[in-house]
Amino acid sequence: MRARARAITLLIAALLATPTAPAAALSTAVHPAPAPSDAAVAIRGRASLPSLTTRLQGLLPGVAEAQARALTEQTAALARATRIARREAAARASRARALAAIRHLAVPAYGRIAEGFGARGLWSSRHTGIDIDAPYWSTVHSVVAGVVVKSVYDRAYGNLVVVRGHGVDIWYAHMARRDVRVGQRVRFDQGLGRVGCTGRCFGPHLHLEVRVHDMPTDPAAFLWGPHRGIPGPVPAWARHGVLTTLSGA
């Protein structure tokens, strides 16, 4: 026991006797201190820590203002993008609804309605039908199931086909070509000919006329009934140029 106690005492004495160099001196000896940089000199030379703090505090409101401005701009841009996306989605939905609806409706040819019913015309004081600006050679579809009662070339109407169905006569005029003959039964939506510009005409279009007891009436009701090929009231969206929208399709 005594020998062990002595050994411990010796060890403590040895440890206390070891000279300890300061860490900084040791570091300097191994790595010489680097020369102070220009910036460090400038800071040391011109500015104390409190003055730097004051300068930074002076800059802070400007930084905060710029950040706030950037945030406002980003928020505005996001709101703009959201508005545009919503508008586009609404337009897509509206177009999809119109397309879904038109499948149940009678459309003789796709195009803008260039001239409505009853308008004053060059050839008559009152337009007896509607003019649809459909592309040349596009198909003219029958808006009712019925029988062809006329398929002729007329000086005014050009290539003219008249289909009788639902008690009315539907006139398709100015066609480039007639594809049906008198007496032929035609289905709803069947092709009757091609859009053209024959007779009294300035440019390719379909003149569609609806006659009840030989009196021209507004064809609109015969185009947009609630059931395919059955005359009905014109839906509100159709009055606002759905054919114009569809003509781009």
Near Zn ion by CB under 5 A, which window of 9-17, 43-51, 147-155, 201-209?
Answer: 201-209
Between 131 and 133, whose beta carbon lies closer to Zn ion? 131
- Residue with the shortest CB distance to Zn ion: 207
Q: From the list 108, 131, 140, 157, which residue makes contact with Zn ion (rule: CB under 5 A)?
A: 131
Cα–Cα distances (Å) from 207 to 15, 108, 199, 202, in that order, read 116, 10, 11, 12
Q: Which is nearer to Zn ion, 98 or 205 (CB)?
A: 205
Using the rule CB under 5 A, which residue among 207, 231, 243, 247 binds Zn ion?
Answer: 207
d(CA 66, CA 111): 53
Q: Binding residues for Zn ion, how many (CB under 5 A)?
A: 2
Residue 19 three-state SS:
coil
Convert 136-150 to b/e letters by CB count within 10 Å (16 or more is b): eebbbbbbbbbebeb
209 binds Zn ion, rule: CB under 5 A: no
Q: Supply the minimum distance, in Å, between the C-beta of residue 209 and Zn ion.
A: 8
Give CA separation, 33 vs 39, 44, 104, 190, in Å.
17, 17, 90, 97
As a whole number of angstroms, the distance between CA 226 and CA 205 comes to 26
Nearer Cβ to Zn ion, position 106 or 133?
133
Choice between 133 and 247, CB closer to Zn ion: 133
Binding site for Zn ion (CB under 5 A): 131, 207
